[in-house]
């Protein structure tokens, strides 16, 4: 697994921010030569456009098309919606990333605050484990 916090400045639309994050996730997974990838996001609009892509003229259409072009880089690339209150990891990564002046990537491990949020998210998703 990998975690990335990327610097994205001057993006005022939350939907564009979410689509850009998905694009960066897919690029990171391809760069790391991952073959079976699941991208989770809490923007239902972005996830729906990625799950059943259709041509549109929305603000994020170019980002969606960039992601679609990468589908062939993977054996499996799926997108799943998760509720914002069950996605503490993404929130903590964004908070941490805001404190950096550069993008950061962690492979096989993450800062303790991210790992703790991951455990909390995992408990909400799979409480019996």
The whole-number pLDDT of residue 53 equals: 67
The whole-number pLDDT of residue 63 equals: 92
Q: Which two tokens stand for residue 108?
A: 């096989």
**What does pLDDT average to over the chain?**
80
Query: Which of 93, 78, 66 has the alpha carbon at shortest distance from 2?
Result: 93
Confidence band (pLDDT; 50, 70, 90) for 67? Answer: very high
Q: Which two tokens stand for residue 82?
A: 């998760």
**C-alpha pair distances (Å), 85 with each of 1, 19, 81:** 22, 19, 12
Q: What is the pLDDT of residues 11-50, one digit of tens each?
A: 778 888 889 888 988 999 999 999 999 888 888 999 999 9
Q: Which domains, from first to last, does the chain contain?
A: 2-125 (3.30.420.10)
Give the H/E segment covering residue 107: strand 104-107
């Amino acid at each position: 697994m990998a975690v990335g916090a990327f610097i994205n400045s001057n993006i005022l639309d939350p939907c564009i921010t979410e689509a850009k994050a998905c694009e960066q996730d897919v690029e990171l997974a391809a760069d790391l030569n991952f073959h079976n990838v699941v991208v989770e996001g809490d923007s239902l609009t972005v996830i729906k456009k990625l799950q059943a892509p259709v041509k549109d003229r929305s603000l994020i259409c170019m980002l969606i098309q960039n992601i679609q072009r990468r589908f062939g880089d993977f054996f499996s690339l799926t997108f799943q919606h998760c509720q914002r209150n069950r996605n503490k990891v993404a929130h903590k990564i964004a908070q941490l990333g805001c404190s950096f002046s550069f993008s950061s990537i962690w492979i096989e491990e993450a800062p303790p605050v991210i790992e703790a949020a991951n455990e909390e998210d995992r408990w909400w998703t799979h409480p019996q484990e």
